[in-house]
Chain A
Amino acid sequence: MAKNIYEKIWEAHVVCAPEGQDTVLYIDRHYVHEVTSPQAFEGLRLAGRNVRRPELTFATMDHNIPTTDRSLPIRDPLSRKQVETLKANCEEFGIVCFDMYDPRNGIVHVVGPELGLTQPGMTVVCGDSHTSTHGALGALAHGIGTSEVEHVLATQTLLQKKSNTMEVRVNGALPHGITPKDVILAVIGKIGTAGGTGYVIEYTGDVIRSMSMEGRMTVCNMSIEAGARAGLISPDEITFAYLKGRPYLPKDKSWDELVASWREWASDPGCAYDAVVALDASEIEPQVSWGTSPGMVTGVRGRVPYLAEIADANARLAAEKALKYMGLEEGTPITEIRINKMFLGSCTNGRLEDLRAAAKVIKGYKVHPSIEQALVVPGSNQVKRQAEAEGLDVIFKEAGFEWREAGCSMCLAMNDDRLNPGDRCASTSNRNFEGRQGKGGRTHLVSPAMAVAAAIMGHFVDIRDWQYK
């Protein structure tokens, strides 16, 4: 029988399915970071347990670390303690840790793929909801709670119920100026932030097939914002080409053998899904979120909605609350929304391709005088080095952007990078919840090109009309 990729990966990882309880599923790759792991390690110690497979777990610090001079100590004592605790725990339990000074350090979801730690057909977990990013490589990847982090450390398994599957098919070709970020925002705008609840999404269609790996990661990253448990993409030649030469690939197989085994995981032609959603790429515009949930999004040529046009009473109430928080009037054209901050980075859009796209837009321009801060934060040290080798840092700095060290930074504002109350920010991150980027801060989710263009003009503009210099 024809099977989809989720069914194949699930079946290959069932350890046992005991009567009356969840399936015991084997975990191939486990990532940990400083925020959700300390209590898990403490739990192991209290119970006198060990890490079953320390070589399958990798740690990085990303949420709390400063993006400024790393030779200085972390100022917030609690952040510093979390970071130091992770390092000590990894040493005690024999886990490889890419600490703040390691050239391989970066945001966990950027680092895993770029080191080749995530591979097709794997089960991948991390105490972090955006673990879905790794699905771009054809892996089943999702976030877990702290008790589950401890469970994986102790047993290398997870107790799981099988999910339903949803195919999200994006057909056609991406029009000029439309990026993977716009694709996923449009998908969420279409199915809603709860549309994927109970499902694992597989993205298919011409647009996905011709998309780069980095773009696919952007798409899978935000699956969780559609409520899905995970999002993944069948591996193909683009996947294999991306993985070639990455340092953590298995050494006991030849390249051809590896590719042949990876190819097997792809969904079979004619396989079935529990639900199917189709989108036509030609209908997708550059997206800008206007509210406090990623589903509150529209095309750049659109406007903030009028409350009266929202039929559902609960949705109307939510929109009213969102507009109040965002300080926006009903019916405001998106291009009239002025910003004073910009953040380019995060595990959604902090990879090399994102920085290249942004640099192309700003070349020869200067940040608008009304912009108080425009931060560029690479997703990893490796991304930072590559960008500098290409001279992208110079382009950013010449245009008036701040070029920072790698980390999560203003995606969630756990370090010193944060919005002040009332700040309005064009952000390439994935969440626009109240207070996400700092108490009282207002976030508009956009693609990298749209974010920097807004920083140049001081308000949102349609990137399709941009004059490249």
Chain B
Amino acid sequence: MEPFVKLTGIVAPLEALNVDTDQIIPKQFLKRIERTGYGDVLFYDWRYLDDGKTPNPAFEMNAPRYKGASILLTKNNFGCGSSREHAPWALHDYGFRCLIAPSFADIFYNNCFNNGMLPIVLSEAVIETLFGEVRARQGYALTVDLPSQTITKPDGGVIPFDIQSFLKERLLNGWDQIGLTLRFEKDIAAYEARRGIA
């Protein structure tokens, strides 16, 4: 897994509550066998008009000024619904590496770490301010620094954030869960020997 250390990127706003995994990627796209290639169908029902091809001008993220965004700013309970990993895959494939919201759904939050993305929880007040600033200034970019747990704004203002130390370590080192568990290979082998699993 690619490590996450520091990122400076354009911020795209998504002003919606309780965005569920079906809205992130609808179920008709689950028949693919790859982990990649879901970026084009991210937020499918919102992003395109009824023909499924023409970008919907009413969908804010479609505006040219948010092109190339790598940070998603959104609202409460993002990622609720199923444990389906196609949702974080689609966000990652689109180019997002960092998600900022007042809260995330539990399984989705963990799935982000399995896919090299940093979800950051900030207070609703701070998020509101950020929404205002993003819209006020074209090319609005944030610098997210994981070692110091800070977000630096274009005006130099600094926002600190919290993250569980174990999850931080995982992202910084790009450790995937399998890599972590394989550190206990000896224990697994010993367990199998004890059980007579040869």
Task: Let me know if B177 and A147 touch, CB within 8 A.
Answer: yes
With A16-B184, A47-B178, A147-B177 as known contacts, state yes or no: A39 contacts B85, CB within 8 Å: yes
Which of the candidate stretches B7-15, B31-39, B67-75, B146-154 sits at the interface with the other chain?
Answer: B31-39
- A20's partner among B34, B83, B166, B184 (CB-CB below 8 A) is B166
**Does A190 belong to the interface (CB within 8 Å)?**
no
Q: State the CA gap A143–B83 with chains docked (Å).
A: 10
Task: Let me know if A24 and B84 touch, CB within 8 A.
Answer: no
Question: Which residues of the partner chain A approach B192 to less than 8 Å between Cβ atoms?
Answer: 26, 156
Question: Which residues of the partner chain B approach A159 to less than 8 Å between Cβ atoms?
Answer: 177, 180-181
Task: Let me know if A154 and B182 touch, CB within 8 A.
Answer: yes
Task: Let me know if B33 and A81 touch, CB within 8 A.
Answer: yes
Task: Let me know if B166 and A15 touch, CB within 8 A.
Answer: no
- Give residues 6-62 of A contacting B (CB, 8 Å): 15-16, 18, 20-21, 24, 26, 35, 38-39, 42-43, 47, 49, 52-53
User: What is the interface of chain B, defined by CB distance below 8 A to chain A?
Assistant: 27, 30-35, 83-85, 89, 107, 111, 114-115, 165-166, 176-178, 180-182, 184, 187-188, 191-192, 195, 197
- Give residues 66-85 of A contacting B (CB, 8 Å): 76, 78-79, 81-82, 85
Q: Counting chain A CB atoms within 10 Å of each CB, which of B30, B89, B177 scores highest?
A: B177
Q: How far does the Cβ of A43 sit from chain B's closest Cβ, in whole Å?
A: 7
The majority secondary structure among interface residues of chain A is mixed
Question: Which residues of the partner chain A approach B107 to less than 8 Å between Cβ atoms?
Answer: 145
Q: State the CA gap A16–B189 with chains docked (Å).
A: 11
Q: State the CA gap A15–B192 with chains docked (Å).
A: 9
Task: Let me know if B178 and A21 touch, CB within 8 A.
Answer: no
Nearest CB in chain A to that of B165: its residue:
A20
Q: How far does the Cβ of B167 sit from chain A's closest Cβ, in whole Å?
A: 10
Nearest CB in chain A to that of B178: its residue:
A154
Would you mind naming 25 contact pairs between A and B with Cβ atoms under 8 Å apart? A15-B184, A15-B187, A15-B191, A24-B181, A26-B191, A26-B192, A38-B33, A39-B33, A39-B85, A47-B176, A47-B178, A53-B197, A76-B31, A145-B85, A147-B111, A147-B115, A151-B178, A151-B181, A154-B178, A154-B181, A155-B182, A155-B188, A156-B192, A157-B188, A414-B31
Nearest CB in chain A to that of B186: its residue:
A16
Task: Let me know if A42 and B191 touch, CB within 8 A.
Answer: no
A contacts with B, residue count (CB < 8 A): 38
Q: State the CA gap A151–B188 with chains docked (Å).
A: 13
With A15-B184, A20-B166, A43-B35 as known contacts, state yes or no: A35 contacts B177, CB within 8 Å: no
Question: Which residues of the partner chain A approach B180 to less than 8 Å between Cβ atoms?
Answer: 21, 159
Q: State the CA gap A21–B166 with chains docked (Å).
A: 8
Task: Let me know if A78 and B32 touch, CB within 8 A.
Answer: yes
Q: How far does the Cβ of A266 sit from chain B's closest Cβ, in whole Å?
A: 20
The 7 closest A-B pairs by CB, nearest first: A38-B33, A78-B31, A39-B35, A147-B114, A16-B187, A145-B83, A15-B191
Nearest CB in chain A to that of B22: its residue:
A435
Task: Let me know if A42 and B31 touch, CB within 8 A.
Answer: no
Question: Which residues of the partner chain A approach B177 to less than 8 Å between Cβ atoms?
Answer: 147, 151, 159
With A42-B33, A43-B35 as known contacts, state yes or no: A150 contacts B178, CB within 8 Å: yes
The count of A-to-B residue pairs whose CB atoms sit within 8 angstroms is 82
**Does A346 belong to the interface (CB within 8 Å)?**
no
Q: State the CA gap A75–B115 with chains docked (Å).
A: 33
With A39-B85, A64-B31, A82-B33 as known contacts, state yes or no: A156 contacts B188, CB within 8 Å: yes
Task: Let me know if A42 and B188 touch, CB within 8 A.
Answer: no
Q: How far does the Cβ of A427 sit from chain B's closest Cβ, in whole Å?
A: 18
Other contacts beyond A85-B33, A157-B181: 13, CB < 8 A: A15-B187, A15-B188, A18-B184, A24-B184, A26-B192, A76-B31, A145-B84, A147-B115, A151-B178, A155-B182, A155-B188, A159-B180, A435-B27
With A24-B184, A145-B84, A145-B111 as known contacts, state yes or no: A35 contacts B178, CB within 8 Å: no
Q: How far does the Cβ of B164 sit from chain A's closest Cβ, in whole Å?
A: 9
**Does A146 belong to the interface (CB within 8 Å)?**
yes
Question: Which residues of the partner chain A approach B30 to less than 8 Å between Cβ atoms?
Answer: 35
Q: State the CA gap A266–B32 with chains docked (Å).
A: 42
Q: State the CA gap A18–B183 with chains docked (Å).
A: 11
Q: State the CA gap A26–B192 with chains docked (Å).
A: 9
Q: State the CA gap A13–B177 with chains docked (Å).
A: 19
Q: How far does the Cβ of A258 sit from chain B's closest Cβ, in whole Å?
A: 14
- Give per-residue flags for A229-265: 1 if the beta carbon is below 8 A from chain B beta carbons, else 0: 0000000000000000000000000000000000000
Q: State the CA gap A64–B176 with chains docked (Å).
A: 30
Q: How far does the Cβ of B41 sit from chain A's closest Cβ, in whole Å?
A: 13
Question: Which residues of the partner chain B approach A151 to less than 8 Å between Cβ atoms?
Answer: 177-178, 181
Question: Which residues of the partner chain B approach A85 to less than 8 Å between Cβ atoms?
Answer: 33
Q: How far does the Cβ of A440 sit from chain B's closest Cβ, in whole Å?
A: 14
Q: State the CA gap A20–B188 with chains docked (Å).
A: 18
- Give per-residue flags for A129-154: 1 if the beta carbon is below 8 A from chain B beta carbons, else 0: 10000000000000111110011001
Task: Let me know if A82 and B31 touch, CB within 8 A.
Answer: yes
Q: How far does the Cβ of A163 sit from chain B's closest Cβ, in whole Å?
A: 14
Question: Which residues of the partner chain A approach B182 to less than 8 Å between Cβ atoms?
Answer: 154-155
Q: How far does the Cβ of B84 sit from chain A's closest Cβ, in whole Å?
A: 7
- B188's partner among A24, A35, A47, A144 (CB-CB below 8 A) is A24
Question: Which residues of the partner chain B approach A18 to less than 8 Å between Cβ atoms?
Answer: 184
Q: How far does the Cβ of A191 sit from chain B's closest Cβ, in whole Å?
A: 20
Question: Which residues of the partner chain A approach B35 to less than 8 Å between Cβ atoms?
Answer: 39, 42-43
Nearest CB in chain B to that of A35: its residue:
B30
Q: How far does the Cβ of A155 sit from chain B's closest Cβ, in whole Å?
A: 5
Question: Which residues of the partner chain B approach A47 to less than 8 Å between Cβ atoms?
Answer: 176, 178
Question: Which residues of the partner chain B approach A52 to less than 8 Å between Cβ atoms?
Answer: 188
Question: Which residues of the partner chain A approach B184 to less than 8 Å between Cβ atoms?
Answer: 15-16, 18, 24
Question: Which residues of the partner chain B approach A24 to less than 8 Å between Cβ atoms?
Answer: 181, 184, 187-188
